Amino acid sequence: MALRLGDTAPNFTADTTAGKLDFYEYLGDGWGILFSHPADYTPVCTTELGTVAKLKDEFTKRNTKVMALSVDGVESHKGWISDINETQSTNVNFPIIGDEDRKVSELYDMIHPNSNENFTVRSVFVIGNDKKIKLIITYPASTGRNFEELLRVIDSLQLTANYSVATPANWKQGEDVVIAPAIKDEDIPAKFPKGHKVIKPYLRTTPQPDL
């Protein structure tokens, strides 16, 4: 059965470019991103992995670790990393799983026969510090992922996990947020001392509470 939001992310042990790793141990008490790419030495994926490497400090700020995967082997990954580093002017600084037996790919339903039964599709899983799946996105092979958007989503997920708010369309760090409908009007001043606006009875906003 396919994984859904709120499911516990399956744990696994796998060979990676950083040695054999237990996924839960790698994540520790932090958040994680697990993402797959169709194959090594492919053009779009080369730009994607280079982009992720450049964003390492941003992921670290959010207590988030990254792990990539394809059904190619670790030795293939290591050769490809040299190309990524050269062409993207970076250093790949996260593990890539060699999943030749498709164990992890099948665990996370990353192989879609309607696309190509020999390749993992471009799936992304954001996993919370409670090991629950918070986000699932699958991209077509022709479309590179927007990792700035994934950072935005992690910001939203981490904020809304700790406060009774939601983030509106196109929200970014520092912008106003939406007060959860379950919060009664009379309770808002105590919970959100920065003030709030009532746009409609069901649409109430407040400045981002953790800033």
Q: Which residues, listed in sequence order, are joined to residue 15 by a DSSP beta bridge?
A: 20
180 is known as an active-site residue: no
Closest CA to 95 of 72, 65, 130: 65
Q: Contact 3/109 with Cβ under 8 angstroms? A: yes
Q: Counting Cβ atoms within 10 Å, is residue 137 exposed (0-12), middle (13-18) or buried (19+)?
A: middle
Written as six digits, the tokens of 208 are: 């981002």
Q: Are 43 and 84 in contact (CB under 8 A)?
A: no
Q: In this structure, what token pair is assigned to residue 45?
A: 């994926």
∠ CA 118-142-76 to the nearest 5 degrees?
45
Q: How would you write 85-114 as a 3-class SS string?
A: HHHHCCCCCCCEEECCCCHHHHHCCCECCC
At 154, give phi and psi (nearest 5°).
-60, -40
Q: Is 1 helix (H, G, I), strand (E, B) or coil?
A: coil
Catalytic residue among 14, 45, 97, 154: 45
Active site residues: 45
